[in-house]
Amino acid sequence: MSGFFDRYPLARNGVTLVGAMLTSLGAGLFLVFLLLEFLGLESNPYMGLLFLLVCPTLFVAGLVVMPIGVWLARRRRAAGRPVRAFRWPSVDLNDAAQRKTAAACAGLTLLNVLIAGVAAHSGLEYMDSPQFCGRLCHEVMEPEWAGYQAGPHARVACVQCHIGPGAPWFVKSKLSGLRQVYAVAFNTHSRPIPSPVTDLRPARDTCEQCHWPEKFHGDVVRTVRSYADDEANTETAIGVRLHIGGINPLRGTATGIHWHVSAKNRIEYVATDDRRQHIPYVRLDDGSGTVKEFIADGGPSGGIPAGERRVLDCIDCHNRPSHTFAYSVARAVDESMSAGGLDPSLPFIRREAIKVLSAAYADKAAAFDAIQNGLRAFYRERTPPVPDEALSRAVETAQRLYARNVFPAMRVTWGTYPNNVGHSDPGPSPYAGCFRCHDDLHRAADGSVISQDCGLCHTIE
């Protein structure tokens, strides 16, 4: 090292030496994390922050600082001023006082490293937690947090779907998060939060780590119950056989609903709205050399319409897998009655629950008061009287339905977020779902259409 400084005396200055240390530290840490990733020991996506941001930043910063130090030294020499050479402090460990000082510095440094390491580890764990994602910005994330807690993925950490493994998507997500932090801090965020998330990682990198769409599921039978607005809340039950399908092990071909995301097919589409509800163009490549382009009636002839172009994956149909809300108040009430929440034996409970839940309220407290007062006022005049215990349970259930689906501060109400699984029944907040493409209006050059035949996906029993 002394020979280097003898040959290049301008490099012997504090600024250049700091740059050299930064570069060496960045390179050393980069090699360590590269080795950890090669050995499969780097599994936490947040470790990518160090791997892709901190280490390269240190390395590049050092490279920039070193020539700056040389340039400053050259200016000082040209101006006739002495170059301030870097001098190492004189350390003599034979001196008892210096030895004690060095031991104290080493002990304090070790303690600081230990404290910083524990703090950093705890901080990274917290950033990985759903509480960090859902509760830090309480008002903004309240709807998503409520949907997450009541959804089927409540035991899955947010980062597993929104970021997934590895560093690149972590960096991309956090850079996008800086804009969101600014919006929350200065109260410029959207109300409601826009959906879908445009920069969400592809489902094959996240959803398919647990789910396997090509697995053959065959048919699934479900019973859909609905109720009338009459005094008896007359029930109608419809059996639906869903052709989930997958790769049929006997024929080796994709069948059923999961045919859409089979690796044998590649489906692309263009959406002309930011909610991906209007899809005038679909392209199918079946993997055997056959390619078809379907354009909806009224779309541009002979061309691809302008809009967002995507390769179809799970999220295009299962667009609310972890943050599901009822698409209409009628459907929410029917599902509650079917599950034993609202008691169908209470006369007119469906009609009255829909009435109090459909009204607009300033906030949750006002809604809870109005729901309680409205239901109690109606049943107060009933003969024979409704037992208070049953009425109280109905009030509490209706309030829970409201709290689960409506958030006035974020302008989220019934039907704010479409759910593309299946398709809605007629109501105040219908959504097209499957019929965005399966409408008999998307035609190919050979005259074929994307069929609206109900039997493609299900059979009514």
In this structure, are 379 and 395 located in the same domain?
Answer: yes
In this structure, are 336 and 269 located in the same domain?
Answer: no
Task: Look at residue 204 and tell me if it is in a domain.
Answer: no
Contact 444, 294 (CB under 8 A): yes
d(CA 70, CA 84): 11
Angle at 222 between CA 217 and CA 224, to 5 degrees: 150
What residues of the chain score a pLDDT lower than 50? 1, 3, 45, 426-428
Distances (CA, A) of 48 to 114, 176, 374: 21, 16, 54
d(CA 394, CA 375): 8
In this structure, are 147 and 241 located in the same domain?
Answer: no
The pLDDT assigned to 157 comes to: 87
For 311, residues 6+ apart whose C-beta sits below 8 A from its C-beta are 202, 266, 267, 268
Task: Look at residue 205 and tell me if it is in a domain.
Answer: no
Task: Look at residue 425 and tell me if it is in a domain.
Answer: no
The pLDDT assigned to 109 comes to: 63
Q: What range does the domain containing 386 cover?
A: 329-416
In this structure, are 43 and 168 located in the same domain?
Answer: no
Write down the pTM of the prediction: 0.73
Task: Quote the number of domains for the chain.
Answer: 4
- Tens-digit pLDDT profile for residues 7-66: 556 566 777 788 778 777 777 776 777 677 667 665 554 555 556 557 677 777 877 887
CB-count exposure of residue 191 (10 Å: 0-12, 13-18, 19+): middle
In this structure, are 278 and 231 located in the same domain?
Answer: yes
Task: Look at residue 303 and tell me if it is in a domain.
Answer: yes
Task: Look at residue 377 and tell me if it is in a domain.
Answer: yes
In this structure, are 225 and 311 located in the same domain?
Answer: yes
In this structure, are 223 and 301 located in the same domain?
Answer: yes
Task: Look at residue 160 and tell me if it is in a domain.
Answer: yes
**Phi and psi at residue 41, to the nearest 5°:** -95, -10
The pLDDT assigned to 393 comes to: 95
The pLDDT assigned to 267 comes to: 94
Domain final residue, candidates 88, 116, 143: 88
In this structure, are 234 and 183 located in the same domain?
Answer: no
The pLDDT assigned to 330 comes to: 92
Domain final residue, candidates 58, 88, 118: 88
Task: Look at residue 202 and tell me if it is in a domain.
Answer: no
Task: Look at residue 197 and tell me if it is in a domain.
Answer: no
The pLDDT assigned to 123 comes to: 59
Contact 174, 124 (CB under 8 A): no
In this structure, are 336 and 306 located in the same domain?
Answer: no
The pLDDT assigned to 90 comes to: 73
Looking at residue 389, its amino acid is E
In this structure, are 171 and 310 located in the same domain?
Answer: no
In this structure, are 285 and 375 located in the same domain?
Answer: no
* Bridge-based pairing state of the strands 254-255 and 246-247: antiparallel
The pLDDT assigned to 188 comes to: 85
Per-position b or e across 280-304, b if 16+ CB within 10 A of its CB = bbbbbeeeeeeebbbbbeebeeeee
